[in-house]
Amino acid sequence: MSVKVYVAVFAVLVSVTGVELALIGIPGISRALTITTLIGLAGFKALLVAAFFQHLKDEPRPLSTVLLVGLVIVMALMSISFLQLHPPQS
């Protein structure tokens, strides 16, 4: 991978961070949407760092699965502990 690619990815990372900072300044967006967008943007940045800086996109696919399983497991903990005290009201 060339230096140009690294710098380009870096530029995107910086820009997206700028978007995050700008986002919280915009009035009128619901909290839920702000949070979701911020987490989504963070996830996007993480993917870029992983895919390009860690070269994950060039590794065997099962490796990404090993990492993804960890993430899924942790999401199960987060979502269930949330639902334990805040179940959707019918």
Partner 1 sequence: MRVTSPSLKRWLFSTNHKDVGILYTITSLVFFFIAGSLALLMRYQLSAPFGRVLGGEVFNTFVTMHGLLMILWVLSPLAIGLANYFIPLQLGARDLAFPRLNALSYWFYLFGGFAMVLSFFFGGPNTGWTLYAPQSACTDPLCSPPGINVAAAGLILLVGSITMGSINFIVTMFKMRAPGLKLKYMSMFPWAILITVFMMLYAFPSLLAGLILLYSDRSFPGRLAYLSTAQGGNVPSLLWDNIFWFFGHPEVYIVLFPAIGVVGEILPTFTRRPLYGAKYITMSIVVAAVISFIVWGHHMFITGVSPLTTTLFTVTTIAVSLPFDVMTVSFMETLFRAKIRLKAPVLFAIGSIALFVIGGITGVFLASIALDQHLRGTYFVVAHFHYIMVGAGILALMGGLYYWFPKMTGRMYNERVAKLHFALSFISFNVLYFPMFLLIEMPRRVYFYPPDTGWAPLNGLATIGGLVFGFSQLLLVANLGRSLRKGAPAGPNPWDGWTLEWAVPSPPPLHDFEQIPVITEDGVVHLAGGEGHPLASGIGDGHSIPHSSHSSRWPIVVALGAFVFLLGLTMGSGPPGILQLTPGVVIGLVGLYGYGKESFIVHEDEKVESWPFKAISRMRFGVWTFLASEIVFFGVLLSAYLFVRINSVAWPPLDYFDIEKGAINTFILLTSSLTAVLALASARAGARNGLVASLLGTMALGAYFLYNKALEWEELAIGEHLTPMGSIFDNFPLAATSYYITTGVHGVHVFAGLAMIAYLFPRVLKGAYLRHQSETILYFGLYWHFVDIVWIFLFPLFYLI
Q: Which of 56, 50, 54, 48 is nearest to 11 (CA)?
A: 48
Q: Which is nearer to partner 1, 28 or 61 (CB)?
A: 61
Shortest separation between residue 28's beta carbon and partner 1, angstroms: 15
Closest approach, Cβ 60 to partner 1, in A, equals 5
| Positions that interact with partner 1 (CB under 8 A) | 1-3, 6-7, 10, 13-14, 17, 20-21, 23-24, 31, 34-35, 38-39, 41-42, 45-46, 49-50, 52-54, 59-63, 66-67, 69-71, 73-78, 80-88
Choose among 47, 43, 41, 1: nearest CA to 22: 41
Q: How far is the CB of 23 from partner 1 (least distance, A)?
A: 8
DSSP-derived 3-state class of residue 30: coil
Measured between alpha carbons, how far is residue 48 from residues 43, 78, 84 in Å?
A: 9, 24, 33
